[in-house]
Structure 1
C-alpha cells in the first residue's frame, strides 16, 4: 500500500471548547480550523505539528460513532489516519489482502479530503483511516 505519512491522529473529546486550552496553552499548538461534518455527526478542530495533524472529534449527536466511542471507552485516541495518493486503490489493495472495510469506497471527510476507514477487527484493533487530498493529485 502506498502510504506517504501519518495524516492525522483523531482524538475523541466531549467538548472541543474545553479541550482547546490544553492544546493551545499547554502544548503551544494553534487551532487552525473548526468544522462540522454533519453526515458524520461530528465537529472537528485541527492542529498542525510538523507534517502531522491532530484532529479533535466532538460528537454533535448522541447517536454518533464518536458519542458511542466516548460512552464505551472514554475520551482519547480514536483513530490513526494515513495519507495516500489514491484512497480507492488503497482500499482495493487492503481488501485483496483480506482487510475488512468499513467504507467500500471513498467519501468526503473534514477539510474536503476523500477518506475511508478500515475495520479495527482487521487492523490489530486500531481504527485506521485512509486520506487523500483531491487537490494534490
Structure 2
C-alpha cells in the first residue's frame, strides 16, 4: 500500500529562546544537535536533536505575524505537533481526502531538510496537530550523477569568515542559502582544546554552536589528509587516543 506511515519522525516543540532550551536538550540531556535551518515558508527556524531515532525539533518563530508566533502568544511554549513519516505523501493525502480529512492550506509544501510536508487540523486527529512528512530521495534518478555533497551535515570544516575576519573549525550542523550552523571553536584555540583532551580535561575550552550568515562566509575547507599533513581529525585522535566524535558528536569519521 502506498502512503504508509513509517513511524514518528519528530516531536515539534515551540520555544521562545532556542538557545536557552538547547541548554536542556543538548547540554543536560546530551542529545546531539543534528542541524538548524530557517524554513521561510513557515516563518520558523528549526533545531533538530537526535533522540535515538526520533528527533526533537525546537521551533523558533522568525515571522512575528506567522502561525508559530501566534501559537506562542496564545499558548506559550510547549508541544506544537507530532510528525509522522510516510513513504508517499501524495498517496496518503489522497486516502485521507477520500475519508473526508483534508490537509491544512496550502496542502503539500517544502519543509525542513528537503522534506515534502503537510499538516492535519487537530479537529480531525483527536486534538493533535499532525505533520506528515516524506523524506527527500536518497538515490538519484537515471541521468543524475548522485554526487555526494562534500559539505553535508556532520562534515568537519574550517570556515573562513569576513567582517570581521575569523577562522573557525567545527562540524557542520546545517547549511542552507541563509548560512551555516557550525559547532566548533576558533582555529587558534583548536590546539589548546586538543591538548586539554590529551590531558584528560574537558574544560574550560569547549565547542559551541554558532550560526554564520551566508554574507560572512568567505570559503569552506573540508578537513582531510594531504600528502604533507594529516587531517585535524586524525591529529586529534593520534594525540588524545580518543575518537573526535567524543568531543564533537555526530562528526563524520575518516576511513581508518
Distance 1:86 1:12 in 2: 27
**Deviation, structure 1 residue 136:** 4.6
1:128 to 121, 127, 130: 130
- Does structure 2 conserve the Cα–Cα contact (< 8 Å) formed by 1:100 and 1:121? no
Superposed CA RMSD = 1.4
**Deviation, structure 1 residue 105:** 3.9
Q: Structure 2, unaligned stretches of length 5 or more?
A: 140-256
What are the equivalent positions in structure 2 for 1:1-137 lying under 5 Å apart?
Answer: 2-103=4-105, 105-136=107-138
- Compare 116-125 and 104-113 and name the one that shifted more: 104-113
TM-score (norm 2): 0.51
Q: Secondary structure of 1:134's partner? A: coil
Distance 1:89 1:103 in 2: 17
Q: Which has the larger radius of gyration?
A: 2
**Deviation, structure 1 residue 111:** 0.6
Structure of greater relative contact order (alpha carbons < 8 Å, 6+ residues apart): 1
Deviations 1:1-35 (A, max 9, x none): 61011000000001111211000121111111111
**Deviation, structure 1 residue 100:** 3.1
Q: Structure 1, unaligned stretches of length 5 or more?
A: none
- Compare 66-75 and 95-104 and name the one that shifted more: 95-104
Q: 2:232 aligns to what?
A: none
Distance 2:53 2:99 in 1: 29
**Deviation, structure 1 residue 96:** 1.0
Distance 1:121 1:31 in 2: 33
Distance 1:47 1:31 in 2: 4
- Compare 127-136 and 5-14 and name the one that shifted more: 127-136
More helix by share: 1
Distance 2:107 2:91 in 1: 10
Distance 2:27 2:64 in 1: 29
- Does structure 2 conserve the Cα–Cα contact (< 8 Å) formed by 1:120 and 1:126? yes
Q: 2:182 aligns to what?
A: none
Runs of 4+ in 1 over 6 A off after TM superposition: none
Instruction: Figure out how many residues of one structure are paired with residues of the other and give that number.
Output: 137
